[in-house]
Structure 1
């Protein structure tokens, strides 16, 4: 298992990345950016306008390049990758499997280190990632962790919402689930009855009073950590320079504090 994890970190590195097409397709005055329409807090709609961490980061990159910006909303990362490959957009933000990317694209240094949460509920015998080998693990349709789970010999099961994933966990259709730290925390804030603290506060021995599902984290930093990096054409130095300048300043730290309430710019 350790060799598998090392292989993931060194070779397959499932990362949230920025994809950038060949520089000849980047307009001198407009940067076309592909984003997911429903991927809070990275990109989402508010009053029919796009906002989020990736949206603001894209605007800052465009500002550094002295360019206008145009957002192209899509439903999933496969479409983003396709648009980049066909040079229909200049920049795509999201997590992609590096093994499927064009050889013309290279990665920048990591600029953000968000966290995933791997968790189980009714399956008390599940306590480590080894226990989940060849087992079904719930993931959201727009989740970033499909290739990571597959590489660890788990079987990703896709759900369209967190509530449907939790229902599957409650009904023992899956052994565990994986969400971003933001998604997991936000959902528990709305559903405190799923926490162990709620169970302890309940202080009841009646089976009918007990909650049907209580979530338990499976802590393993090697599976829960993500690395956000940029993918760019080897000749495209202007975008790299813009991103490096934002990294060197406090811009990305400020955005991280705004959208995640913490500094995720360090591992």
Structure 2
């Protein structure tokens, strides 16, 4: 009888050890699977570290010393839904993308267009802006009404921009311009015939400045396809990209994207 009891004790002990083993295995499995979660790809725990310029209104800029703008508010909204805090790292444009490559931050939101060249080294979120072109000319000038009319004409364009590339492709002569305001001044002065730029640049300018002396010509998608503006990630951070996309879809569905766009641009620039 004693032998039997010991036998039961041994069996019970063995079963207990097995149960503990199974529990540890399960815990180990959960731990392992948690490492596959997007949070393991974050630079800092509980933070979404965002690279941006912080000097490009209305996307990201400082107002009364505080960082604000469309992409700042968008980053905060995304981070909140991910149960994270948005941590911003303002960086000059010439080293912004390189900073992502060296893991200085998790993601870049800086009005960045998806291009074949960039896609070789980075991955992108679904677009949060569909940037359509606009043609701006001097009021009363009937010689330019659409993109096909710019051939042989002198246009003010930023060096190295998509706008300059399109103008040249269409046969225009380009005059270097440092920013949109300068381009508009050159048009008013009659030094150039116009400028091709993003419609959101026009919306943002018109929201707080006089547009007297200027005409805005909407460029249809058939004339030039919209440029996709997206968040950019390192290629290895696929889980973070997927989570970002899921949250972005939620913000689009609940109207947050539209609300932020209308706040900073006066129009909805987030629709396809």
TM over 0.5: yes
Q: Secondary structure at the match of 2:243?
A: helix
CA contact (8 A) 1:134 1:155 kept: yes
Q: Which residue of 1 aligns with 2:95?
A: 79
Q: Which residue of 1 aligns with 2:268?
A: 263
Q: Distance in 2 between matches of 1:38 and 1:224?
A: 27
Q: Give a deviation string over 1:220-243, Cα, whole Å, max 9, x none.
A: 213384433344436233323332
Match of 2:258 among 253, 256, 259: 253
1:90–1:150: structure 2 CA closer, same or farther, 3 Å change rule? farther
Q: Which runs of 5+ in 2 are unaligned?
A: 1-39
Q: Secondary structure at the match of 1:40?
A: coil
Q: Distance in 2 between matches of 1:152 and 1:132?
A: 7
Match of 1:44 among 32, 45, 61: 61
Q: Which residue of 2 aligns with 1:190?
A: 209
Q: Secondary structure at the match of 1:66?
A: coil
CA contact (8 A) 1:117 1:224 kept: no
Q: Which residue of 2 aligns with 1:235?
A: 238
CA contact (8 A) 1:25 1:87 kept: no
CA contact (8 A) 2:107 2:231 kept: no
Q: Which runs of 5+ in 1 are unaligned?
A: 1-22, 195-214
Q: Which residue of 2 aligns with 1:12?
A: none
The Cα RMSD (Å) is 3.2
Whether 1:132 aligns to 2:150 is yes
Question: What TM-score, normalized by structure 2, do the two folds share?
Answer: 0.67
Q: Which residue of 2 aligns with 1:120?
A: 137
Shift in Å, 1:153: 4.4
Q: Distance in 1 between matches of 2:161 and 2:121?
A: 25
Q: Which residue of 1 aligns with 2:127?
A: 110
Q: Which residue of 1 aligns with 2:17?
A: none
Q: Give the helix-richer structure, 1 or 2.
A: 2
Shift in Å, 1:182: 4.6
Q: What pairs with 1:153-232 in structure 2 (closer than 5 Å)?
A: 153-185=171-203, 187-188=205-206, 190-194=209-213, 215-222=214-221, 223=224, 225-232=226-233
Q: What pairs with 1:27-38 in structure 2 (closer than 5 Å)?
A: 27-38=44-55
Q: Give a deviation string over 1:107-136, Cα, whole Å, max 9, x none.
A: 433333354421122754223212223544
CA contact (8 A) 1:84 1:90 kept: yes
Shift in Å, 1:32: 1.8
CA contact (8 A) 2:70 2:261 kept: yes
- Structure possessing the higher radius of gyration over alpha carbons: 2
Shifted more, 159-168 versus 49-58: the winner is 159-168
Q: Secondary structure at the match of 1:120?
A: strand
Q: Give the strand-richer structure, 1 or 2.
A: 1
Shift in Å, 1:187: 4.3
Relative CO higher for 1 or 2, CA cutoff 8 Å, sep ≥ 6?
Answer: 1
Q: Which residue of 1 aligns with 2:105?
A: 89
Q: Which residue of 1 aligns with 2:32?
A: none
How many residues get paired? 224
